[in-house]
Amino acid sequence: MADTTAPDSPASRTTPLWEVFIRSRNGLAHKHVGSVHAADATLALQAARDVYTRRGEGLSIWVVPSNAIVASDPADRETLFEPTGSKIYRHPTFYEVPDEVGNM
Protein backbone atom coordinates (compact mmCIF):
# COMPACT_ATOMS: atom_id res chain seq x y z
CA MET A 1 0.00 0.00 0.00
CA ALA A 2 1.28 3.46 -0.86
CA ASP A 3 2.53 5.71 1.93
CA THR A 4 -0.46 7.89 2.65
CA THR A 5 1.12 9.73 5.53
CA ALA A 6 3.70 11.81 3.68
CA PRO A 7 2.26 15.34 3.36
CA ASP A 8 3.00 15.61 -0.37
CA SER A 9 2.22 12.05 -1.44
CA PRO A 10 -0.41 11.66 -4.19
CA ALA A 11 -2.59 9.76 -1.73
CA SER A 12 -2.60 12.60 0.78
CA ARG A 13 -3.79 14.96 -1.93
CA THR A 14 -6.56 12.69 -3.27
CA THR A 15 -7.55 11.14 0.05
CA PRO A 16 -6.58 13.47 2.88
CA LEU A 17 -6.74 12.59 6.56
CA TRP A 18 -9.85 13.08 8.71
CA GLU A 19 -10.12 12.81 12.50
CA VAL A 20 -13.01 10.69 13.72
CA PHE A 21 -15.11 11.34 16.82
CA ILE A 22 -17.75 8.88 18.01
CA ARG A 23 -20.51 9.37 20.56
CA SER A 24 -21.06 6.03 22.23
CA ARG A 25 -24.33 4.56 23.37
CA ASN A 26 -23.92 5.81 26.92
CA GLY A 27 -21.61 8.77 26.44
CA LEU A 28 -22.76 12.34 26.16
CA ALA A 29 -19.72 13.68 24.33
CA HIS A 30 -18.10 12.68 21.06
CA LYS A 31 -14.70 11.15 21.77
CA HIS A 32 -11.73 11.01 19.44
CA VAL A 33 -11.22 7.43 18.25
CA GLY A 34 -8.75 7.71 15.37
CA SER A 35 -8.52 8.85 11.79
CA VAL A 36 -9.38 7.78 8.25
CA HIS A 37 -8.28 8.67 4.74
CA ALA A 38 -11.09 9.76 2.42
CA ALA A 39 -11.59 11.90 -0.65
CA ASP A 40 -14.32 14.09 0.84
CA ALA A 41 -16.59 14.55 3.85
CA THR A 42 -19.28 12.09 2.73
CA LEU A 43 -16.81 9.29 2.10
CA ALA A 44 -14.99 10.16 5.33
CA LEU A 45 -18.21 9.62 7.29
CA GLN A 46 -18.77 6.29 5.53
CA ALA A 47 -15.17 5.23 6.14
CA ALA A 48 -15.48 6.18 9.82
CA ARG A 49 -18.67 4.12 10.05
CA ASP A 50 -16.98 1.14 8.40
CA VAL A 51 -13.76 1.29 10.39
CA TYR A 52 -14.84 2.45 13.85
CA THR A 53 -18.44 1.29 14.45
CA ARG A 54 -18.25 -2.38 13.46
CA ARG A 55 -19.09 -3.60 16.95
CA GLY A 56 -21.93 -1.28 17.83
CA GLU A 57 -19.68 1.39 19.31
CA GLY A 58 -21.53 4.46 18.25
CA LEU A 59 -24.73 6.38 17.75
CA SER A 60 -23.23 9.46 16.12
CA ILE A 61 -20.08 10.27 14.17
CA TRP A 62 -18.19 13.49 13.56
CA VAL A 63 -15.38 13.77 11.05
CA VAL A 64 -13.10 16.79 10.89
CA PRO A 65 -10.34 17.47 8.35
CA SER A 66 -7.12 16.80 10.25
CA ASN A 67 -5.57 19.97 8.86
CA ALA A 68 -8.42 22.00 10.43
CA ILE A 69 -7.22 21.05 13.89
CA VAL A 70 -4.95 23.58 15.58
CA ALA A 71 -2.62 21.77 17.95
CA SER A 72 -0.37 22.98 20.71
CA ASP A 73 3.34 22.74 20.07
CA PRO A 74 4.94 19.81 21.94
CA ALA A 75 7.92 22.12 22.63
CA ASP A 76 5.58 24.34 24.66
CA ARG A 77 4.69 21.55 27.02
CA GLU A 78 6.67 22.85 29.98
CA THR A 79 5.44 26.41 29.58
CA LEU A 80 1.84 25.45 29.15
CA PHE A 81 1.35 22.58 31.52
CA GLU A 82 4.03 22.38 34.20
CA PRO A 83 2.90 25.45 36.18
CA THR A 84 -0.33 23.68 37.08
CA GLY A 85 1.55 20.81 38.66
CA SER A 86 2.22 22.75 41.87
CA LYS A 87 -1.32 24.03 42.27
CA ILE A 88 -2.84 21.05 43.95
CA TYR A 89 -5.39 23.31 45.69
CA ARG A 90 -7.24 23.44 42.36
CA HIS A 91 -8.33 19.86 42.90
CA PRO A 92 -11.49 19.72 44.99
CA THR A 93 -9.89 17.55 47.65
CA PHE A 94 -9.65 20.12 50.46
CA TYR A 95 -13.30 20.34 51.30
CA GLU A 96 -14.74 18.46 54.22
CA VAL A 97 -17.90 16.75 53.10
CA PRO A 98 -20.57 16.79 55.82
CA ASP A 99 -21.74 13.33 56.86
CA GLU A 100 -25.31 14.17 55.88
CA VAL A 101 -24.27 14.41 52.24
CA GLY A 102 -23.37 10.75 52.11
CA ASN A 103 -21.57 9.35 49.07
CA MET A 104 -20.66 11.84 46.38
Partner 1 sequence: MGGMSRSASAARQGAGEAGVGGMLHLPLAPPATREGDASGLVLALLRRGDDALILGHRLSEWTGHAPLLEEELALANIALDFIGQARALYTEAGALTGETEDQIAYLRDAPQWRNALIMELPNGDFAFTMARLLLVSAFALPFWRAACGSSHPGIAAIAAKAEKEVDYHLRHAAEWLIRLGDGTAESHRRAQDAVDALWPYTGELFSPDDRALVEAGIVPDPDGLRAAWAATVDATLVRATLVRPEDGWMQSGGRSGRHTEHLGHLLAELQFVQRAYPGSTW
Binding site for partner 1 (CB under 8 A): 1, 4, 15, 36-40, 42-43, 46-47, 50-51, 54
Q: How far is the CB of 61 from partner 1 (least distance, A)?
A: 13
* Residues ≥6 apart with Cβ < 8 Å to 29: 23
In the complex with partner 1, the residue whose CB is nearer, 24 or 46, is: 46
Q: How far is the CB of 65 from partner 1 (least distance, A)?
A: 15
Q: How far is the CB of 37 from partner 1 (least distance, A)?
A: 6
* Residues ≥6 apart with Cβ < 8 Å to 12: 4, 5, 6, 37
CA–chain centroid gap for 98, Å, is 38
In the complex with partner 1, the residue whose CB is nearer, 42 or 67, is: 42
Number of H helices, E strands in the chain: 3, 3
Amino acid at 1: M
In the complex with partner 1, the residue whose CB is nearer, 3 or 100, is: 3
